[in-house]
Structure 1
Amino acid sequence: MMPPEPSTRSLQGEEEEYDSQEEIWGRLTDVHCHANDAFEGEDLARAAAEIGGLGTGQVCVMSSSLDSQWKTEQLRALQPHKVVPAFGLHPWFSATISITNEEGGQRIVDRRDHYRRVLTKRHPPLVVVQAKKSKLRHDDEVAHQKDDEAEELLLAWIDRHLHLLPDPTPLEHFLTDLRARLVRSPGSMIGEVGLDKLFTFHIHPRSSPSAAGSPSGQSGMIIRSKYKVLIAHQLHILHAQMSLAIELGRPVSLHCVQASTELLGLLEVLTDQWGPRFTGVPSTRNALHASSEPHRKQPASGSEHGGVNLCWHSPTVSPELIQQILRKLPRTFYFSYSSHLAALHPPSSSSQPLPPPPSPSPSSQDEKKQKNPPLYSSRARRAIQATPIDRLLLESDHGQHPATIDRKLRDIFRLVLSLQPSTPDQPNNALHLAAQIEANWHRFYSPALVHPSSPH
């Protein structure tokens, strides 16, 4: 059921209600950005200085590639009160991780064979995800079916670029490093992790989502292939990272593009395996399983129900899918929106004017954008309206100059404000919305503060 059409009213004449502009902007948290990619990831001190000058309260800096993990950690060290670090492997870089079905012993991963196994021209129609003996398994026979001609073309491409392809990192080695970073960074999250069936595998020297989407002249040589990373491979890596998040009680920032069916299947697997430790919803069916590992403490969440909070960042999904996910995880799932991915059609003419951010002062380019507001898609509007107000967060998803995060967060805040209904009991104004989003952030993030280290 779609929410009613929003009724908005102007904020003109209401600014006197605010003690200062900080009452709005200082309450907001950018729950998803890539500030570690700013300045090609080569000037972390400058990026940290710009973060320190933001009017936005805090920024969650996402890791993406293997190389970005230490940069996130360094930004936290430079701005400990402003930066919330998130560690994890983005699906765009999952091809650099090797997985083996062998248990124990040492092995040498053949680089050519590894990329032959994980790359494909097209995804299978559906990858079956199922739990067996508390382990995640996939329909690998379907996932790895390739005709002979396609296999020959793939091997030819790999052979041409083999000298550029990075040596694969064993999953267990990556997970050991990920655990160590999470433990020594109290209050850290897991992110950006997820699934993506749209992207194609790139070879580039600066491994980050921002660099991968930039012209090659800006980020070094980028070789764009026509191959994708098998969704079964992505699922295995995501499952491992999500399991670590559940074990340590850390919130997760999720990326999911054209893989909602696989994501829903994985959520079912995690529910079966972890029960209330994952969902936060007690159930007779899951109670025995959740307590079957006495060496692990039950997470004492900052909320009443426990569980691990998940946030789907910048979703471009239907209201029906939002409702379906919330039925599965009614207490722990959130959605964060960015002006970047919402952009297309203009917001309503009744959009409410807001005071300018306190710092940095708008540039001439910013002033021009204020006169010509961004255009937003109807799909994004419907998704925002379908998201319960207590599950809504804001993000910039920005990987360039951190100084522009204030403006990007202000743009999406303005759009969300324009779409909220107003009633006599619940007036629609900037201060009320900022307070609600601030409360959402604290509810989402608080479990990370309860679990600063490993329970082992």
Structure 2
Amino acid sequence: MPSIEKIPAMRAQVLTIMATRAQDQQLVGSVAGQHGVQSRSDLAGARDPRQDTGKVVPAFGWHPWFSYQIYDDTLPSKDRTYDPGRADGGDDGLLQEKARHLAAVLSPAPQDTEFATKMPELVSLSSLLDQTRGFLRDHPLALVGEIGVDKAFRLPQPWHEDGTPLSRDEGLTPGGREGRLLSPHRVKMAHQASILKAQLKLAGEMGRAVSVHGVQAHGILFDTCSACWKGHEKEVISKRQKKMVAPGAEDFSSSSSEDEEEESEGNIAKPRQASRPRQLDPKPYPPRVCLHSFSGPVEVLKQYMDPRIPAKVYFSFSLAVNFSTPASQEKTPAVIKACPPDRLLVESDLHVAGDQMDAALEGMYRKVCAIKGWALEQGVQRIRQNYEAFIFG
């Protein structure tokens, strides 16, 4: 939060700020209330230093790192991992229920209730969705995010014996790792996937784009997304079929309202002037998906480019993740080359605004332009248009 005051002076025209857990949902909302983008015209105004326009698009959601704190109260009582109605003996009974939930969703399962006493309070899935729905209504341009799955993540060790930190960095939002050692416990993938699917469906209900985190679980992530749009796949019309349609009778309903005209590498489409996201009929899947700091191989990227997929899928890249190790530096250029020009985004994936974030964004823009063979101005314009299409539809 101390770096928020640096946002108005940043060279970046707009930032998407992601909530991840209970403690920062309201904070993201408050920042958007102060610095929020109100319309597409704000982005045009941001290029003029004399214009005082919004620079923040908020996103509300629960990151997979914190999914163990959520229990699914939409299930029948017998299938729930946590049910206050089952608890006997007051607080002791609730603690037993909490321990039962943690044993069900973590691997390896904690061996005693002592572990549960040091873990954050649990949140019901229905209350999480209701809260997120409220934030989305309050912020018409907001995304659902950051959500997803993460196979590599391990819970940090609990705080000190009484559950409180020995020392905290007061500049950081509570609830993070803050230097704690990692425990052996991971969140089971089935639980992560169920929390992700619920948030994807909410995004579809509200017609909002989503930012999705996926680490070492590309198959599970694709299967979870695919399950949402199953039965809604687009019909693919071949060029031969199109030629057989009588002139003036074309009705290629398989083409989504969000589909763009095909572009060559040298052309940049004119942005539409809509000031608000399109009003979409509720669907069980989000209209637009960004796979953020995408770390999958080219083969996985191509899976998401299947023309039958009704959602429009984007791929964003960051120096912090995609060029952070020798292995990622070797793999990422081929993935960026394979990414369609109109589906490519750039991000910092940092938690500190200001010069550090500006430098990270500029560095990634330069990387992308060099890999794609774009002139810098051409690349920046193209990616800006991709971002507007992702946010506004």
Global fold match (TM > 0.5): yes
- CA distance, structure 2, for counterparts of residue 239 and residue 273 of structure 1: 16
Shift of 1:102: 1.4
1:227 aligns with 2:185: yes
Shift of 1:301: 5.1
Q: Which residue of 1 aligns with 2:322?
A: 342
1:193 aligns with 2:147: yes
Describe the superposition over 1:259-304 as per-residue Cα deviations: whole angstroms up to 9, x where unpaired.
Answer: 111112112211126557xxxx9559xxxxxxxxxxxxxx7359xx
Shift of 1:209: 11
1:99 aligns with 2:72: yes
Task: Tell me the secondary structure at the aligned position of residue 383 of structure 1.
Answer: helix
Residues 376 and 210 of structure 1, relative CA distance in 2, 3 Å threshold: farther
Q: Which residue of 2 aligns with 1:58?
A: 14
- CA distance, structure 1, for counterparts of residue 328 and residue 193 of structure 2: 32
Residues 210 and 436 of structure 1, relative CA distance in 2, 3 Å threshold: farther
Written as runs of structure 1 = structure 2, the 5 A alignment for 1:36-435 is 44=1, 46-80=2-36, 81-100=54-73, 101-102=75-76, 107=85, 110-121=97-108, 154-156=110-112, 159-202=113-156, 203=158, 211-212=176-177, 214=178, 216=179, 222=180, 224-272=182-230, 300=279, 308-327=287-306, 329=309, 332-344=312-324, 377-421=329-373, 428-435=374-381
- CA distance, structure 1, for counterparts of residue 365 and residue 175 of structure 2: 23
Q: Determine if contact 1:64/1:209 at 8 Å carries over to the other structure.
A: no
Shift of 1:316: 1.3
Residues 331 and 274 of structure 1, relative CA distance in 2, 3 Å threshold: closer
Shift of 1:330: 7.0
Shift of 1:307: 6.2
Task: Tell me the secondary structure at the aligned position of residue 22 of structure 2.
Answer: coil
Task: Tell me the secondary structure at the aligned position of residue 335 of structure 1.
Answer: strand
Q: Determine if contact 2:59/2:142 at 8 Å carries over to the other structure.
A: yes
Kindly tell me the number of residue pairs found equivalent between the two proteins. 308
Task: Tell me the secondary structure at the aligned position of residue 167 of structure 1.
Answer: coil
In structure 1, stretches of 5+ residues that fail to align are 1-43, 122-150, 217-221, 285-298, 347-374, 422-427, 448-456
- CA distance, structure 2, for counterparts of residue 395 and residue 282 of structure 1: 34
- CA distance, structure 2, for counterparts of residue 264 and residue 223 of structure 1: 31
Question: What TM-score do the two structures reach when normalised by structure 1?
Answer: 0.62
Question: What TM-score do the two structures reach when normalised by structure 2?
Answer: 0.72
Report the identity percentage.
Answer: 27
The two structures, once aligned, show a CA RMSD in angstroms of 2.9
Shift of 1:92: 0.0
Residues 444 and 84 of structure 1, relative CA distance in 2, 3 Å threshold: same
Q: For residue 317 of structure 2, what is the amino acid of its counterpart?
A: Y
Task: Tell me the secondary structure at the aligned position of residue 393 of structure 1.
Answer: strand
In structure 2, stretches of 5+ residues that fail to align are 37-53, 88-93, 160-164, 235-251, 256-277
- CA distance, structure 1, for counterparts of residue 367 and residue 107 of structure 2: 39
Q: Determine if contact 2:233/2:310 at 8 Å carries over to the other structure.
A: no
Shift of 1:387: 0.7
